[in-house]
Amino acid sequence: MSPRNDIEWPFAVRPLTPALGVEVVGVDLAKEIDPPLFGALYDAFLRHQVLLFNTGELSPARQVAFARHFGEVQVHVMNQYHADGFPELYRLSNLDEHGRPNGRHPDKGTLAWHTDGSWKRITGQATIIYGEVVPDVGGETHFCDMYGGYERLDDTWKSRIANLRAVHNLDFSRTRRHGEDPMTEAQKRATPPVDHPIVRTHPETGRKCIFLGDHAEYVLGMPYDDGRALIEELNKLAVHDDLTYEHRWRPGQLIAWDNRCLMHRATDYDPATQRRVVRRCTILGGAPA
Which spans of this chain sit near Fe ion (rule: CB under 5 A)? 116
Task: Rank residues 43 and 246 by Cβ distance to Fe ion and give the closer one.
Answer: 246
We find the least distance from the C-beta atom of residue 116 to Fe ion, in angstroms, to be 4
Residue 71 gets the label, from left (phi > 0), alpha (psi -120 to 50) or beta, of: left
Closest distance of CB 280 from Fe ion, Å: 8
Rounded to a whole number of angstroms, the minimum distance from the CB of residue 187 to Fe ion is 17
**To the nearest whole angstrom, how small is the minimum distance from the Cβ of residue 1 to Fe ion?**
26
| Distance (Å) of CA 268 to CA 67, 75, 82, 138, 272 | 26, 26, 22, 6, 12
Note whether 214 and 112 are within 8 A (CB): yes
Which residues are registered as beta bridge partners of 131?
Answer: 278
Nearest to 12 by CA among 30, 1, 183, 132: 1
Q: Which is nearer to Fe ion, 27 or 261 (CB)?
A: 261
| Nearer Cβ to Fe ion (208/215) | 215
Q: Is 55 or 118 the residue whose CB approaches Fe ion more closely?
A: 118
CB of 141 to Fe ion, least distance (A): 9
Kindly tell me which of 27 and 278 has the beta carbon lying closer to Fe ion: 278
How far apart are the C-alpha atoms of 211 and 259, rounded to whole Å? 9
**Closer residue to Fe ion (CB): 53 or 119:** 119
Smallest gap from Cβ 157 to Fe ion, in A, equals 25
Quote the strand ranges of 94-219, DSSP E.
124-133, 141-145, 165-168, 194-197, 199-201, 208-210, 216-219
Cβ atoms of 89 and 61 closer than 8 Å? no
Q: Name the DSSP class of 3.
A: -
CB-based burial of residue 225 (10 Å sphere; 0-12 exposed, 13-18 middle, 19+ buried)?
exposed
Give the residue closest to Fe ion by C-beta: 116
